[in-house]
Amino acid sequence: ETGVTQSPTHLIKTRGQQVTLRCSSQSGHNTVSWYQQALGQGPQFIFQYYREEENGRGNFPPRFSGLQFPNYSSELNVNALELDDSALYLCASSQGQTQETQYFGPGTRLLVL
């Protein structure tokens, strides 16, 4: 059984650019959640996808968008990058829509210059 994987591990972008982060969910999981963790902070919920549909969204602007594919892998897209978008982006997978335990990937470290 493979765990949650994320790519790339590190990324450097400049202000105004766009970025796509990828996540492969754990085998058997159909729900993916994305979190942003700024330095020295706890992770903040961005949104969740269940069976390819958005299933909840946190307090993030529309330039943060996502997709989930039929194999339950997911992408996080961020447009018009700002300096404050520099953070560790964590993906977590779980099974179902209820309060199932979420298992996290290693994260993607994004630096916006």
Partner 1 sequence: AQSVTQPDIHITVSEGASLELRCNYSYGATPYLFWYVQSPGQGLQLLLKYFSGDTLVQGIKGFEAEFKRSQSSFNLRKPSVHWSDAAEYFCAVVPRQGAQKLVFGQGTRLTINP
**x/- string (CB under 8 A) for partner 1, residues 49-88?**
------xxxx------------------------------
Determine if 23 is a binding residue for partner 1 (CB under 8 A).
no
Q: Note whether 46 and 64 are within 8 A (CB).
A: yes
Determine if 90 is a binding residue for partner 1 (CB under 8 A).
yes
Residue 54 CB, nearest approach to partner 1 (Å) = 11
Interatomic CA distance for residues 52 and 49, integer angstroms: 6
Q: Which positions from 92 through 111 interact with partner 1, judged by CB under 8 A?
A: 92, 97-99, 101-107, 109
Q: Give the count of residues interacting with partner 1 (CB under 8 A).
A: 29
> What SS3 state is found at 102?
coil
How many residues comprise the chain?
113
Q: What is the DSSP string of 40-83?
A: TS--EEEEEEETTEEEEE-S--TTEEEEE-TTS-EEEEE-S--G
Question: Footprint of partner 1 on this chain (CB under 8 A)?
Answer: 4, 6, 31, 33, 35, 40-45, 48, 55-58, 90, 92, 97-99, 101-107, 109
